[in-house]
Amino acid sequence: MTFGIAFILLMLALGGFAAYQGDRVGMAVGKKRLSIFGLRPKYTSRVITVLTGIIIVMITMAGVLLISHTARQSLFGLEDLQQQISSLSVQLADLQEQQRSLRQENTRLQEMNLALASQTETLQALNAALNEQKNILQAAIEELEQDYRDRLGKSYLVYDWVMQQPLVYTAGQLISSYVIDVPDSRDALEQEVRSMLEELNRQVLQDGAGEIDERPGWALVLEYTVYEEVGEERRERTVTEEERISKLVDAIRETPGLDSVVVQAFSLTHTIERFPVWPDFRLLVDRLIFPQGDVVAAHVFDGRESGRSLFNQLWGWLQIEVRQAALEAGVLERPDGTVTAPFEVGLLYDVVETIRSHGGPVTVQAIASRDVRTNDELPIAFHFEPVADELETDKQE
């Protein structure tokens, strides 16, 4: 601003000085009556006056331009300055826009900082709560570990006590078998099943099992727990005694046209004296296995052997081969492990004497003395058929 005012004042002064000097030079030239280029002295003085003013101005301008960089830039760099100003104006607008964006971002960051500060306080509170819960859980774990050690010590005592107690049944042992006639009515069948359970209850109490505390006079634990998948959850459900009986009745009725069924009762666990029984059941079709007179098994004995040897052979055959043949045919094993009816020693000796009376090989057939069904005890009678002695036959030939 100062340079501009000074430059204007200089130009005004320079103009006045140029006019004054030009007029004096013109007057001097006019007085001398000089002429150039064939012009009249009057016109020659005017030309010299103008040229003098021009020369003075040029010298003055040249001096100013040489001395002042601002003057040179103002005269010759004005367009560049204008372009720079335009470019700087655009950059200024961009910078202002960036400044506005930065201010908005700063405002957003401040809001986020406040939110993070709030979340930090919340997390600190949660962390404190979690630490408190951790301490509570740690204390609970220590208490449970101590309880576990106490219970473990007691369990060893209980185990020692259990090992010293007599067992009524072992796990998986057959308690008894029952034949149930299948009536047409479901209610009647359910009544038959309940009667069977009452008979089973009397038997286990007689064998030494104990009553359930909540049910005096009853020793069968029919309830059990199952685990069911409900969506992603695993829930525990108790199957009641009534449901257990209903399932057993439905299982019997699944086979149409069934006249009778054999229900075998097993002990699921070891049963200690004076403790209840956890029973399990297996269903078998009751059918005729051996009609009366049917041969169960046969064996060849040599009547020339001693009575002691024949007795041992006969006893082993009855306990192994005859028993196995009856089991394979479908006769059920009794709870005491027997299949056939007990044999009187006198009868076995009579069989041995009959074998010896033949004086040679004889086929002894074990036959069913009556009709035997699935759950029946197998009564055995004996039939004898002499066998031709191969050595005698060879001698005769």
Q: Residue 394: is its pLDDT beyond 60?
A: no
pLDDT value at residue 1:
54
Q: Which contacts (CB < 8 Å, 24+ apart) does range 386-389 have?
A: 386/358, 386/360, 386/361, 386/362, 387/300, 387/360, 387/361, 387/362, 387/363, 388/361, 389/360, 389/361
| 51-92 tens-digit pLDDT | 777 777 777 777 766 776 666 666 666 677 778 778 888 888
Of 20-29, 36-45, 230-239, which one has max mean pLDDT? 230-239
pLDDT value at residue 227:
81
Give the pLDDT band of residue 242 (cuts 50, 70, 90): very high
Give the pLDDT band of residue 392 (cuts 50, 70, 90): very low
| 153-212 tens-digit pLDDT | 776 666 666 666 788 899 889 999 898 988 888 999 999 999 999 999 999 999 999 998
pLDDT value at residue 163:
64
Q: What is the mean pLDDT of residues 343-354?
A: 90
Q: Residue 310: is its pLDDT beyond 90?
A: yes
Q: Residue 320: is its pLDDT beyond 90?
A: yes
Phi and psi for 300 in degrees, rounded to 5? Answer: -95, 125
The mean pLDDT value of the chain amounts to 83
Contact between 167 and 262 under an 8 Å Cβ cutoff? The reply is no
